[in-house]
Amino acid sequence: MRILYNILFTVFFLLSSPYYFWKMWRRGNWKRGFKERFGQFGVKLKQGVTNRHVLWIHAVSVGEVNLATQLIRALERRLPNLKIVVSTTTTTGMGRLEVLPSHIAKVYYPIDRRAYVSRALASVHPNAFVLVEAEVWPNFLWKLQDRGTPAFLVNARLSERSFRGYRRFGFLFRPLFRAFAGVGAQNEQDAARLLELGCRPEAIHVVGNLKFDAARVEERRVLDVEAMFRQLGVAPGARVLVAGSTHAGEEKILAEIFKRLKLRMPDLFLVVVPRHFERGKEVGRELDQAGVQFMYRSEVGITTQVEPGAISCLLVNTTGELRYFYEHATAIFVGKSLVAQGGQNPIEPGALGKAMVFGPNMQNFEPIAASFVAKGGAVQVANAAELERVLGELLDDAPRCAEMGRHAVEVVRANEGAVDRTVEMIVERLPVEATMVVRP
C-alpha cells in the first residue's frame, strides 16, 4: 500500500506542482520558508528542539491557525516546559502565526513525499503530533507510527463530501484513523462518522467546537476602523453592511443589493472582504461595473482623506482584518453561502454580538448555523431576493439587530469550553516524559 501511494503521489505531485507553485507566487511572499516545504528546517530549529520534549501542532490555513493559537496558549499554561513547534501550509496561515511569541517555532508543513517527511521529522523529533481538523497525509502519519509517536486529531469535522471520500478509500485511511491516540470530535454526528472511518471508540471524545472559544479571545488591536472610516468620509453613526469571506459570484449580487438599499438609506456604507484577498482586482472590476464607488483597503494610508460621500464601499484586499470590520458592522452577510457551497464561519460575528445573515449553503457549519437560527441569533435566507429583503429590514431596525446580537452571544457562551476539554484529552495521552511538570 505504501509503495503504491508513493508512486501515485509522486506522479500527482509532478503534474500538479506548476499549478500550486503558481498559486503560491500569486499570493506573494512565497520565498519565505520555501525550503521548509521540502523538510529543510535549518540549524536554528534543530538547536531549539535539542534535548527538549517537543509537541508538533499542524494547522492548515488561517482558520485552523486561529484554533491552534488558542490550544498553544492553553497547553503552555498546563505544560510550560514543553517545546511547541507549529506548522501551516499557506502563506496567509504563516502570517497569522506571527501573533505567537518568538519561542514558538513556526514552520511550513512538508510536502507528503517520504524523503521530505523523514527529513522534517528527523529535525523536529516530536514526542507527539496534533492535527487541527482533518487533512490526513499518509506518509506523515505512517512515519509517526514507525517512530512510535502518538498523533491526535482535534476539532475533527467531517463534511458529507470528505466523509464519502475517506470511506471510499477506506483501505488506505482506516488504518491511519485507527492509529490516532486521541480524537476530539465537534459533535455526536462527527463522532459516529469517525468511528465508521476506523477511529477506536476509546480514542474518540466529543469536546465541542474550538471555534467558539477562539472567537471570544481578546487580541491586541492592530486596526482602528473608526479612524479609517473617518478618513473615508463615512458619517458618524452611519449604517455599515459588512460582507465577510465572500466568494466568486456573491460580490456582484451584493453590489446590486447595496445600490438599491442605498437609495432608501443614503448613509449606508458597504465593506466587502473576499475570502481570498488575491481576488481583489477581480472583485474591484465587478464593483466598478455595478457602479459602486469603492476604494481598496491597501490604498488607505495615514494621510488618506476622502470627501464625504465620494465613495460608498471599502474593498478589503488585505488579510487578517475581517474581525475588526465585523466589530463595526450594523449587519453582516456571511459569505460562501449564497451561490457557493460550504459556508464560512458564523461564530466570530456571533461572538461579537452582531446581527448576521447567511444563505442556504452552510454545509460546513450546519449544526452551528442551525443553533444560531434556532435561538434567533441569525437569519438564513434561500436566495438573493430574500437576502435583500432581510438586510433591508435589519438595517432599518436597530433594536432587532441588538436583540439578534444578544441571542448570538448566548449561543457562543453556551458552547464554550472545548479548548480546555481538548487540552485535557491531549495531556492525558502524552508520553509520560513530556508531562513531567506539576499540574495545577
Q: What is residue 370's predicted lDDT score, i.e. its pLDDT?
A: 96
Average pLDDT over every residue of 96-101: 88
Average pLDDT over every residue of 139-167: 93
pLDDT class of 237 with cuts at 50, 70, 90: very high
Taking CA 187 as the corner, what is the angle to CA 184 and CA 193, rounded to the nearest 5 degrees?
80
Beta carbons of 120 and 87 less than 8 angstroms apart: no
Mean pLDDT highest for which of 149-163, 222-236, 370-384?
370-384
Of residues 415 and 134, more confidently modeled: 415
pLDDT class of 221 with cuts at 50, 70, 90: low
**In percent, how much of the chain has pLDDT > 90?**
79
Q: What is residue 109's predicted lDDT score, i.e. its pLDDT?
A: 97
Q: Is residue 216 scored above 70 in pLDDT?
A: no
Taking CA 16 as the corner, what is the angle to CA 15 and CA 21, rounded to the nearest 5 degrees?
125
pLDDT class of 438 with cuts at 50, 70, 90: very low
The x, y and z cell numbers of residue 119, run together, are 527529513
Average pLDDT over every residue of 117-121: 97
Give the architecture-level CATH label for domain 225-414: 3-Layer(aba) Sandwich (3.40)
- Look at the block and give the residue holding cell 475570502: 275
pLDDT class of 439 with cuts at 50, 70, 90: very low
The string of pLDDT tens digits covering residues 48-65 is: 999 899 999 999 988 899
Instruction: Tell me the one-letter amino acid at 56.
Output: W
Beta carbons of 87 and 59 less than 8 angstroms apart: yes
Beta carbons of 325 and 342 less than 8 angstroms apart: no
The x, y and z cell numbers of residue 26, run together, are 500569486
Beta carbons of 215 and 350 less than 8 angstroms apart: yes
The string of pLDDT tens digits covering residues 315-353 is: 999 988 999 999 999 999 999 999 988 999 999 999 999
Q: What is residue 32's predicted lDDT score, i.e. its pLDDT?
A: 85
**What does the alpha-carbon distance between residue 5 and residue 381 come to, in Å, rounded to a whole number?**
43
Mean pLDDT of the chain: 92
Instruction: Name residues whose C-beta falls within 8 Å of residue 18's C-beta, 6 or more positions apart in sequence.
Output: none
Q: Is residue 432 scored above 80 in pLDDT?
A: no
Average pLDDT over every residue of 185-205: 95
**What does the alpha-carbon distance between residue 89 and residue 210 come to, in Å, rounded to a whole number?**
20
Beta carbons of 266 and 259 less than 8 angstroms apart: no
Class of the CATH domain delimited by 2-216+417-435: alpha beta
Of residues 216 and 346, more confidently modeled: 346
Domains of the chain, residue spans: 2-216+417-435, 225-414
Q: Is residue 218 scored above 80 in pLDDT?
A: no
One fold for 2-216+417-435 and 225-414: yes
Its pTM surpasses 0.75: yes
Of residues 99 and 54, more confidently modeled: 54
